[in-house]
Structure 1
Amino acid sequence: MARIAIMTDETGWHTRQLQAALRARGASGRCVDLADCHIDTAQAWHGLVIPGFGRDLPDAALVRGIAGGSFEQVTKRLGVLHALRELGVPVYNDARAIERSVDKSMTSLLLHAADIPTPPTWATESLAQARRIAMREGAAGHALVLKPLFGSQGKGLQLVGDVEGVHHPVPELDEAYGSLAYLQRFVPATIDPGFDWRVLVVGARAVTAMRRVSEGWIHNVAQGARCEPAELTPALAALAEGAAAALEMDYAGVDMIPCAGGGIQVLEVNGVAAWQGLQRVTSFNIARAIVDDLLDRKLAAARAGGVAGAGRRA
C-alpha cells in the first residue's frame, strides 16, 4: 500500500476528498503539518522526521497547504519539501513550483519569458518609483492593481492609478505589503457583471473550468464571487497548460480574464489551488483526478527509475 503524506496546515473538505480518493486506489493518506516536521540527523539515515511515518519516509507527498510564519519557519518548511524531493520522494507540487507561484513577481516573470499573455507587471521596493509608475500608467488611462506579493483569496487588493477618471496614488507600503509594491495593470470587465476563469490543470492537461462572476472587480470566490460552469475551450486549455508548464507544476489553478478585442490574459497561477467551488460545477471527482495523476504518473515514474522512497525503511 502506497503511503502518502498530505502536507497541510488545516484539515477539512479538501483533505477528506484526497483521503477518500487515495483509499479508493488502495493507498493511504495521512495529514501532516510541515510545521511539525523537523530535521534530526541522529534519528534516521535521511535526517528527516515526518510525524506518523516513524523512521520511514512517505512514498509520496501531496502539498495541500503550508502555514505562514517567520522567514526562518517558512524556509524550514520548504526545506523539508526540497529534502524529500532530493531523497527520491515524489512531491506534488514540489517546493520549487510552489515558490514560483507563491511569489507573484516570479510568476509574472516566468509567464512573460514563456510568451504567455499576462498584464504588464511591476515589482519594486521603492515607494517613489511605484508612485511614478502609477502616475505614468494613470496618465495613459490605466488603473493598476496593488497586490500583496504573497497574498491569496483576493485579500489586500487595491486599485491605484486612474480609477474612473480619478487618480489614486500608491499608499504607504506597510507591513501588509511587505514594504514592496507588486503592481499589475488592471483589465477592465468586458461585460457586466464581470468575470474571470479558473482552469484546473492536472498532469500537464487542462481538465475543467469555471467562470467566477462578481458584481465587483475582484472575482475570488472567497470575496463573494459565484461559480458558474464554463466550457473548456481549446484556447482556454492551451493557455492554462502553457502557464502551468512555464512554472513546471504538476497541478495548477490558472486564473485568466477576457480582454477587449477577444483576447485572454493569465492573471495568476496557483500552486496549492483549492477546488471546492470548482467541484460544484464539475461532473467528475477532482480529488480522484489529482490522486490518479500522482499515483499513475509521478509515483510510477519515480518507482520505474528506482528512486521512489529509496531506502524508505532502511
Structure 2
Amino acid sequence: MISPGLRIAVMTDETGWHTGRLKKAFRARGAEARCVDLADCRIDTTWLPHGLVVPGFGRALPDAVFVRGIAGGTFEQVTLRLGILHALRESGVPVYNDARAIERSVDKSMTSFLLHRAGVPTPATWAVESAAFAQRVLMREAAAGRQVVLKPLFGSQGHGLKRLGARGGLLAPLPSLARYRQVAYLQRFVASGRPGFDWRVLVIGGKAVAAMRRSGGKGWIHNVAQGARCEPAELTVPLAQTAVRATAALGLDYAGVDLIPNPDDAALPLVLEVNGVAAWRGLQSVVPLDVAAALVDDLLDRKLAAQRRANEQARQAASAGSPEQSAQRRARA
C-alpha cells in the first residue's frame, strides 16, 4: 500500500469543501496534499532537471496530481494549463484525471461522439458552426413532435441551457449563437417523467460506487447548482454498467455520469453528460461512502502504483539498452 511520505498536488483555482475533504483523506493515508493553481505553474526549460515548475514543490515534481479544477481563461491560457498537465504525465507523474481525458469530457461534442462510437446510449446530438443547419435541425425535430436542447459547448451546472421547439403551434427561431461562441450544440430533449429527474452515478477506477437521484430545480434542469433536490438512488445494474461504459469511452479515472430513463428501453438508460472534474457534495449528502477517501485510495493504490511499475520498467529497459547493445556487452564480457 503506497502513501507515507508522498507529496500530492491538488490542482484547483479555488479552495473550499472539496479540497478540504481531499486533503483530509490524503492525510489519513500519510500523504501531504498541497493546493496548486495551474495558472501559477510554468514550463521553464532552465529549471533543471525536468523543465517544469510546480509551486510548493521546489525543483522536484509531485508524486501524483489530483485535478480538482481548471480555471477558465483565454484559449492560450487554458491551452497552457492543459499543457502543464500533459507535461506532468509525460514526466512520469500520474495525473488523475489526466489532460487528455479532461479535454474529452469538457468538450460536449467530443463526449457525444465518443459515447456514440462506443455504443453507449445517448440522445441524438448535433454540433455545428452553421446557424442555418442548426435551424434546419430544429425545424425537422419540431415537425416530428420533438424538442431539442441548446447547450454551451463548454459549460457546467446547467447554465446556458435552452429548450427549443414548437410551442403554441409556433416554432420559435434559433436564438443568436453569439452567446454560444458561434457553435450550436443541440441534443434531442428526452422527458424523464413527472416530476422530472435524472441520476448522477459516480464511477471510480472502473467501478460504479454510488448513485443519487436529482429532482426539482429549475423546471426540466436538474443540476444541484440550479436548486435540484438530492435523494439516494439504487445503483441498479443498468445504471452501473452504462456509467462504467461511458467513463471508459472517455478514458477517465473517475467521473460523475448524468443519466435519464430511456423511453424506448428501460434496461438502457441514456447518458446526458460525463463530468471529468465532478463535484460530489450533493452526492456525499445522501450516500454513506466517503467519496474523497475512495478517490484518494484509487489514485494511490491503483493509478500511482501502476505508474511506478511503468516507470521502473522503463528505467530497466533503458539501462539494459537494445538487444544489440546487450549482445555486445555479453561479447565483451
Matched with 1:247 is: 250
> Structure 1 stretch 193-202 or stretch 35-44: which is displaced more?
35-44
Map of 1:209 onto structure 2: 211
Q: Alignment partner for residue 152 of structure 2, among 136, 148, 153?
A: 148
The residue number in structure 1 matching 2:141 is 137
Q: Which amino acid aligns with 2:105?
A: S
- 1:147-196 deviation line (CA, Å, top 9, x unaligned): 0000100000001123575423211101x311100000001122x21100
For 2:187, the equivalent position in structure 1 comes to 184
Report the count of equivalent residues. 307
Q: Describe the shift of the 1:165–1:268 C-alpha distance in structure 2 as closer, same or farther (beyond 3 A).
A: farther
Q: Percent identity?
A: 68
Give the alignment partner of residue 285 of structure 1, picking from 290, 301, 304. 290
In 1: Cα distance, 2:276 partner to 2:236 partner: 22
> Is 1:168 matched with 2:172?
yes
Q: CA deviation at 1:242?
A: 0.2
> Which residue pairs with 1:221 in the alignment?
224
Q: How does 1:85-100 map to 2 (within 5 A)?
A: 85-100=89-104
* Deviation per residue, 1:229-261 (Å, 9 max, x gap): 000001100000000000010000000001324
Aligned equivalents of 1:250, 1:212: Cα separation in 2: 23
TM superposition shift of 1:79: 0.1
Amino acid at match of 2:270: Q
Relative to the length of structure 1, the TM-score reads 0.95
Instruction: Determine if contact 2:18/2:279 at 8 Å carries over to the other structure.
Output: yes
Q: Which residue of 1 aligns with 2:262?
A: 259
Q: Is the 8 A contact 1:18 1:287 kept in 2?
A: yes
Gaps of 5+ in 1: none
Query: One-letter code of the match for 1:211?
Result: R
Q: Is the 8 A contact 2:210 2:289 kept in 1?
A: no
Aligned to 2:311: 306
SS for the counterpart of 2:214 is strand
Aligned residue number for residue 197 of structure 1: 199
- Of structures 1 and 2, the one with the larger relative CO (CA 8 A, separation 6+) is 1
Q: CA contact under 8 A between 1:6 and 1:64: conserved in structure 2?
A: yes
Deviation at 1:306, TM superposition (A): 2.8
- Counterpart amino acid of residue 284 in structure 1: L
Specify whether residues 41 and 203 from structure 1 end up closer, same or farther in structure 2 by C-alpha distance, changes over 3 A only: same
How far 1:302 moved relative to its partner?
1.1
Secondary structure of 1:67's aligned partner: coil
Report the TM-score when normalising by structure 2. 0.90
Instruction: Select the structure of larger CA radius of gyration.
Output: 2
Higher fraction of helix? 2
2:47 & 2:311 partners in 1: Cα distance?
Answer: 24
2:121 aligns with 117
2:76 aligned partner: 72
Structure 1: distance between partners of 2:207 and 2:41: 32
Contact in 2 for aligned 1:89/1:307 (Cα 8 Å): no
